[in-house]
Amino acid sequence: MTLPASLLNAISAQLLAAGASSPVRRASPVGGGDINEAALVETTQACYFVKWHRNPPPGFFEGEADGLQRLAASGAIRVPWVIGAGAAEGASFLILEWIERGGKTPAAAELLGRQLAALHRPPLPAFGLDRDNTLGTLPQPNTPRTSWMAFYRDQRLGVQRDLAARNGLLPAERARRLDRLMGSLDHWINEAAVWPALLHGDLWGGNWIVSADGGPVLIDPAVYAGDREMDLAMASLFGGFPERFFAAYAEALPLPPGAAERQPLYQLYYLLCHLNLFGEGYGGPVDRILHGYAPH
């Protein structure tokens, strides 16, 4: 879709305020994923990636910008620089560095694995974050907690459970098994082995790209501090990461016992999110995980 004139004018103003020496001279639509629309925006000196949404939830792009800035500040892995954000006539937008893309290679995937381990290694003060954000358009409350198990139960599974109930996506059997699983997380989670690691938060295969110089870049985060296995569980869910990525990560930062057993437990959060975003097509995968952890 072509950028509306009011939005284009607001983007030009943001770029000029950020130091651009000329207004936008051209905007070309590009793929923006399932949630947003996006464009390549050009001035006479530089190119930018702009995404926009006509009716975003509160703090939508602000949360993404904050997450990108936190990832950049870690120094562990490249992300697009945030140029600015704003709104015009009900549409919100985010302006990012334009990154010329190269092809994904085994070497880039291996480097990404090592860099993700470096991102996860330093412990943060608590699980959560000092602000809420979103995963897609879904609320992701991040009130800090000292217990990972309580955080995952209440602020990840519990939030999506309640949303699924409101959306008519939680039949009685699904609700019963989910409640039982949520009440027995200590069977699989060892709090002593978990530290609050800075997470990308939405690490599916479409959210890593490779720059023209061959280096990996992470995009579209849903950042918070959590069990590092969450990022790996999401990376395993839909494909897009070669085995060398996982091996390089494990070499740099070995996983604790029980990680393979916990992987579906952590994938459950993302599948519940997909259930709430896209409907009952994700009910089957949710139910299979619930049957595995709560068979009766």
**Residue range 145-172, pLDDT digits in tens:** 999 999 999 999 999 999 999 999 999 9
Other beta carbons less than 10 A from residue 146's beta carbon = 12
Indicate the SS3 state at residue 78: strand
Q: pTM for the full model?
A: 0.95
Q: How far apart are CA 242 and CA 279, in angstroms?
A: 29
What's the pLDDT at 29?
84
Q: Which of 5-19, 191-205, 265-279 bottoms out in mean pLDDT, i.e. has the lowest?
A: 5-19
Give the closest residue to 180 by CA, choosing from 270, 256, 265. 265
Q: Which of 202, 220, 227, 231 is catalytic?
A: 202
Helices (H), 35-77: 60-74
Does the annotation count 287 as an active-site position?
A: no
* pLDDT band at residue 296 using 50, 70 and 90 as cut-offs: confident
Tokens 């939030």 correspond to: 159
Q: How far apart are CA 19 and CA 199, in angstroms?
A: 31
Indicate the SS3 state at residue 93: strand
Across the chain, where does the E strand assignment appear? 26-30, 37-42, 47-53, 82-88, 91-97, 133-135, 138-140, 197-199, 208-210, 216-218, 224-226
- If you ran DSSP here, which 8-state letter would residue 83 be given? E
What's the pLDDT at 244?
97
- State CA 62 to chain mean position distance: 14
End-to-end CA distance of the chain: 49
Domains of the chain: 5-97 (3.30.200.20), 106-293 (3.90.1200.10)
Across 221-278, where does the E strand assignment appear? 224-226
Amino acid at site 232: L
- If you ran DSSP here, which 8-state letter would residue 283 be given? H
The bridge status of strand 91-97 relative to strand 47-53 is: antiparallel
pLDDT in tens, 213-263: 999 999 999 999 999 999 999 999 999 999 999 999 999 999 999 999 999
Tell me which of 231 and 4 has the higher pLDDT: 231
- Quick one: tokens of 272? 């519940």
Judge whether residue 86 has pLDDT over 90: no
pLDDT in tens, 41-78: 998 888 999 999 988 888 899 999 999 999 999 999 99
